[in-house]
Amino acid sequence: MTELHLPWLECSILIPLVTAAGVRRISEQDAARRISTAVCLVTLLCTLGAWADFSTLHSSAASDPWDVLSLLFHRPMLVVDALSAPLLPLAGLLYLLTVATTSRTKVNRFSFTWTLISEAVLLATLSCRDPWILTFLLSAATIPPWMEFRMRSRPTRIYVLHMGLFVVLLVTGVWLTYADPSPAGPSVIGTGLIGMAALLRSGVVPLHCWITDLFENVSFGTALLFLTPMTGAYAVIRLVLPVAPDRMLQTIAVLSLTTAVYAAGMALVQTESRRFFCYLFLSHSSLVLAGLQVVTPIGLTGALCVWLSVGLSLLGFGLTLRSVEARTGRLSLNRYHGLIEHTPVLAALFLLTGLSSIGFPGTVGFVGTELLVEGAAGVSAMVGLAPVVAAMLNGIAVLHAWFRVFTGTRRETTASMECRVSERLSGVALIALIIAGGLFPQPGVSSRYQAAVELMNSRHESPQTPSAQVSLQTASFQTVPGKPLGPTDHSGPAIRH
Amino acid sequence: MTQPELLHILGVATVAAPAFLLLALGGLWLAGIPVRERTSAHLTHASVMTGLLAAAGILVLMLTTGIRNVPIELGNWVEIPEEHFHFHLKFAFDRLSVPFVILSFVLCGTVGAFANVYLHREPGYRRFFLFYAVFLLGMTVSSLAATIETLFLGWELVGISSALLVAFFHDRTAPVRNGQRVWSVYRFADAAFLIAALTMHHLTGSGDFDGLMGTGPWPDSTASISSRHALFVGLLLLTAAAGKSGMIPFSGWLPRAMEGPTPSSAIFYGALSVHLGAYLLLRVSPVLAASVPLQICVILIGGMSAVFGAVASRVQSDVKSALAFASLTQVGIIVVEIGLGLHYVPLIHMIGHACLRTLQLLRAPSLLRDHHTLQNAIGGLHAQHNGGPLSDILSPHQRNWLYRFALERGYLDAFLDEFIVRPFTRLFRYTDFLERRWTEFLSGSDSRQSVSEAFSDQSVDDLG
């Protein structure tokens, strides 16, 4: 396998992991926040380095040089490919902005040690393609939120029940599917169990109650860090998509689309800002998951684009809401708060990131949503209708929340609610990315198309169940480093303009 | 410089001028750099004049050379060549778009100049001009769009700027609630539009209007889809147009939208935005012509909206609401004209009505002064109008019923609330209740640490 020029992946994982032990010994939480911010910044630079390095190699995948783990397993364990290359910096950015914007009033509730550990686990997950190590990492990632439940003396039963089931399903599924490769192809039962685990982790209805419980009981930052990377969707791509029969993917798509519409409807009737955000996120992440099951290049490209755009937008939206909550406490959406006079910057960020998440023109979400809707509509008219309805409801919900939080009354306050420097910088960086991605979408779309083609190829190369083999006869792709990608024979339902 | 090159430059300038205004005002606002009122006014003036002169230049060239259709290709904004996927940025200057875009620039320029004085030293001055820039770009893109995706792009920009300007006076509840209402209706209309766009792709394999409506410049083109498909796509587009133009059954938002400042009311609900639905129908008129049932639907919706607007406008207690319903009457008539297969008559009607209504709305704040001036001029009280021809035909009971119907604005808002919004919110509140029971069963304790309040009726009204 092609090697990167520097061990970016190992550095990005080891730096937060090693520093976590040091941060644990710092008694002053504000100092811990500053150090953690610096560590997250360095980690982000490493992930950006990995992306840039990978882009120069024109390879389908690349591993670290001097990979210590490969000595143990006799194959490269940390790999960056077209799918994960932008996801790594996105994860790095998520952690950096979350840590940097943690207000001083909240630092005592937010564990920087566990945050750095979870960052290392997340980056390792996104750099890993081995089913067993991936299973271990996905399972390990459930521990930091559980620790926070415990530290805050909150009831853990719902979380433990769901995440315990997730781990059991995942381990059993991977064992049945990958432990003993059968000549007849992977076990359908095993793949189904992995699929169920991924659906549970993604919060697909009716297995979503743990997500609302998480937002209720842990800090907003921890909930954001656990959910925004959408590791459930990542598990589907790595473990389910290559081997699952068509019927299973269609089932996942239908369940995800149902969740997208249901969660959008629920977001509209929530009376509390945190629960509103939870359902809004659930709706968007379900759209991504649904798009991934539309195994056409256009649909997959759309889903991967929306993954990035929703990651950026809802990160900004969530952080803005978190900053507002840091000033006012949890917000009721049953009445108007009129905060715009006191926090105009946060109001602007809330509106722009919210509009971006629904795929508004001129923002990073627009083209991805268009592609996703067209990919879904290519499968069937009803499937195409669901994202449109979800986007409509989400759009209404976003502006409803904005009006409730920032307008409607004149709020009297003696304390300053102005944005801090770190919040302003974080916001401006996100807005710049959102608008730049919206005005110049071609590089992002090309990169996601390449990832989509490689995913199609991975599905083609894996031992398939008969139905999957039949479906793949309709679309096969060639990926040759340095040469243009394209279908050799395509008769799928993608829409041509 | 050759003639095609000159046309291309003028075409690009027409679209680029409002885009530049938005980039400048938006960029400065995001960067936190304060902009003086004078600078903002100069930027707006320069942008509108540039766009107007460029569009007028194209009109002159078209008239002198006899060219009826000038396509401006800006290339592919996004493309995946292997999948033959292109998001084509293409604008068309033809006999429909050129008058409409010139109208947009003229009226936006007028309203911009008016607002510069009207909102002088208002706290929301900068915000107004930022939303105004979004609206101007949206109108320009919508007017000149040659593909349905491009039209959708402009359509959305008009929608958000409209909702935010209705809620301009954001420290009061009523404007904000009305802004939310407008937005909700617009989102519904947008969804219908998007589904129509997707269906068009499936039917014609292209988002270009040329692909849908066959060859030939507007209005001589013929739809290239079957009557059945035309009916389906046309009904979706009619729904989108009805939402955008406040036609029945979405008319309830039109008087609510008058909560915004007078300049925005003039430009949105008197002049341009309210005509955007009719413009869409005019743009796809070959599709309407392909299906007689569709034409009947268009005539019915337009006719009912016109009658409703005429009745409702007579009992409004404030001048802006009366003007809003008067606008609806004219928009309804324009839509009937479109349904009857006319092309130039509705276009001329639209232009004339937009200009008149802009003037009336801009004069609305000084209505009493104008009235007194008129009284002084004629030397006494203006003759009171004691009812129209209907007052002789209808019985007192029927007159009372009609009066109440008009006063309650046709019960359209109540109808939408009762049959769409409330069932929707009831369903999801019930599922929310079930979820709560389920999580409490699982956790064995109260599952909601956060503020937990019942979803209020006021919230239902807002969402409607």
Instruction: Give residue-wise pLDDT tens across range A282-334.
Output: 999 999 998 888 778 888 999 999 999 999 999 999 999 999 988 888 888 88
In degrees, to the nearest 5, what angle opens at C-alpha A315 toward C-alphas A312 and A319?
145
Percentage of residues in chain B having pLDDT higher than 90: 46
Structural domain range at position B237: 3-367
Query: Which segments of A98-205 are extended strands (E)?
Result: none
Residues in B closer than 8 angstroms to A484, CB to CB, are: 82
Whether cis (ω within 30° of 0) applies to the bond prior to B219 is yes
B161 lies in the same domain as B294: yes
The Cβ of residue B107 has, within 10 Å, a number of other Cβ atoms equal to 23
In degrees, to the nearest 5, what angle opens at C-alpha B336 toward C-alphas B332 and B338?
115
Q: Do A367 and B171 lie within an 8 Å CB cutoff?
A: no
Boundary of a domain, candidates B367, B384, B405:
B367
Residues in A closer than 8 angstroms to B454, CB to CB, are: 271, 334
Q: Is B433 on the interface with A (CB under 8 A)?
A: no
pLDDT at B453: 53
Residue B391 in domain: no
Residue B454 pLDDT grade (very low, low, confident, very high; cuts 50, 70, 90): low
Higher pLDDT, A230 or B226: A230
Whether the pLDDT of residue A475 is over 50: the answer is no
The structural domains of chain A, with segments of one domain joined by +, span 1-129, 132-244, 255-462
Whether the pLDDT of residue A463 is over 70: the answer is no
| B contact residues 186-205, partner A, Cβ 8 Å cutoff | 187-188, 190-191, 194-195, 198, 201-202, 205
Q: Where is average pLDDT lowest: A20-34, A153-167, A178-192, B25-39? A: A178-192
Q: Is A160 on the interface with B (CB under 8 A)?
A: no
What's the rounded mean pLDDT across residues B264-275?
Answer: 80
Nearest to A403 among B87, B176, B194 (CB): B176
Distance in angstroms (rounded) separating the CA atoms of residues B71 and B49? 22
Residue B257 pLDDT grade (very low, low, confident, very high; cuts 50, 70, 90): confident
Residue B392 in domain: no
Q: Is B79 on the interface with A (CB under 8 A)?
A: yes
Q: Where is average pLDDT lowest: B207-211, B253-257, B291-295? A: B207-211
Residue B168 in domain: yes
Q: Which residue of B has its CA nearest to A484?
A: B82
pLDDT at A495: 35
ipTM beyond 0.85? yes
pLDDT at A478: 38
B362 lies in the same domain as B248: yes
**Token digits of residue B338:** 């479109």
Q: Do A334 and B206 lie within an 8 Å CB cutoff?
A: no
Q: Which residue of B has its CA nearest to A161?
A: B442
pLDDT at B84: 80
**Token digits of residue B364:** 């609305």
Q: Which residue of A has its CA nearest to B424?
A: A265
Whether the pLDDT of residue A470 is over 70: the answer is no
What's the rounded mean pLDDT across residues B236-254?
Answer: 91
B182 lies in the same domain as B320: yes
Whether the pLDDT of residue A472 is over 60: the answer is no
Q: Do B173 and A158 lie within an 8 Å CB cutoff?
A: no
pLDDT at B212: 66
Whether cis (ω within 30° of 0) applies to the bond prior to A466 is no
Total number of domains in chain B: 2
Distance in angstroms (rounded) separating the CA atoms of residues A190 and B316? 68
Distance in angstroms (rounded) separating the CA atoms of residues B250 and B412? 7
pLDDT at B140: 95
Residue B363 pLDDT grade (very low, low, confident, very high; cuts 50, 70, 90): confident
**Token digits of residue A23:** 């941060």
Higher pLDDT, B464 or A77: A77
Residue for token pair 């009619």: B238
Whether the pLDDT of residue A492 is over 80: the answer is no
Q: How many angstroms away from the CA of B26 is the closest CA of chain A?
A: 11
Nearest to B443 among A155, A355, A361 (CB): A155
SS3 for A146?
helix
B122 lies in the same domain as B183: yes
pLDDT at A229: 92
B231 lies in the same domain as B122: yes
Nearest to B88 among A262, A431, A497 (CB): A497
Residues in B closer than 8 angstroms to A155, CB to CB, are: 443-445
pLDDT at A493: 32
Residue B214 pLDDT grade (very low, low, confident, very high; cuts 50, 70, 90): low
Q: If 0-12 CB within 10 Å is exposed, 13-18 middle and 19+ buried, where does residue B115 land?
A: buried
Residues B30-74 have pLDDT tens digits of: 777 888 889 999 999 999 999 999 999 999 999 999 888 888 888
Residue B34 in domain: yes
Residue B199 pLDDT grade (very low, low, confident, very high; cuts 50, 70, 90): confident
B305 lies in the same domain as B429: no
Q: How many angstroms away from the CA of A181 is the closest CA of chain B?
A: 34
Residue A46 pLDDT grade (very low, low, confident, very high; cuts 50, 70, 90): very high
Nearest to A209 among B80, B171, B439 (CB): B439
Residues B134-149 have pLDDT tens digits of: 999 999 999 999 888 8
Higher pLDDT, A480 or B144: B144
Residue B207 pLDDT grade (very low, low, confident, very high; cuts 50, 70, 90): low
pLDDT at A192: 92
Whether the pLDDT of residue B384 is over 90: the answer is no
B360 lies in the same domain as B456: no
Boundary of a domain, candidates B342, B367, B392:
B367
Residue B446 in domain: yes
Residue B393 in domain: no
Q: What is the mean pLDDT of chain A?
A: 85
Q: What is the mean pLDDT of chain B?
A: 87
pLDDT at A45: 96
pLDDT at B259: 82
Distance in angstroms (rounded) separating the CA atoms of residues B29 and B127? 9
Q: How many angstroms away from the CA of A10 is the closest CA of chain B?
A: 34
Residues A203-236 have pLDDT tens digits of: 998 899 999 999 988 989 999 999 999 999 999 9
What's the rounded mean pLDDT across residues B212-239?
Answer: 82
B328 lies in the same domain as B443: no
**Token digits of residue B196:** 């129509």
Q: Where is average pLDDT lowest: A62-66, B129-133, B210-214? A: B210-214
Nearest to A266 among B153, B195, B428 (CB): B428
pLDDT at A70: 72
Boundary of a domain, candidates B367, B389, B423:
B367
Residues in A closer than 8 angstroms to B80, CB to CB, are: 297-298, 301, 445-446, 449
User: Dihedral sign, CA of A56, A57, A58, A60?
Assistant: negative
Whether the pLDDT of residue A473 is over 50: the answer is no
Q: How many angstroms away from the CA of A50 is the closest CA of chain B?
A: 25
| B contact residues 121-140, partner A, Cβ 8 Å cutoff | none
What's the rounded mean pLDDT across residues A334-362?
Answer: 90
Q: Is B452 on the interface with A (CB under 8 A)?
A: yes
φ, ψ (nearest 5 deg) of residue B80: -125, 90
pLDDT at B226: 84
Residue type, A472: L
Q: How many angstroms away from the CA of B367 is the closest CA of chain A?
A: 29
Residue B281 in domain: yes
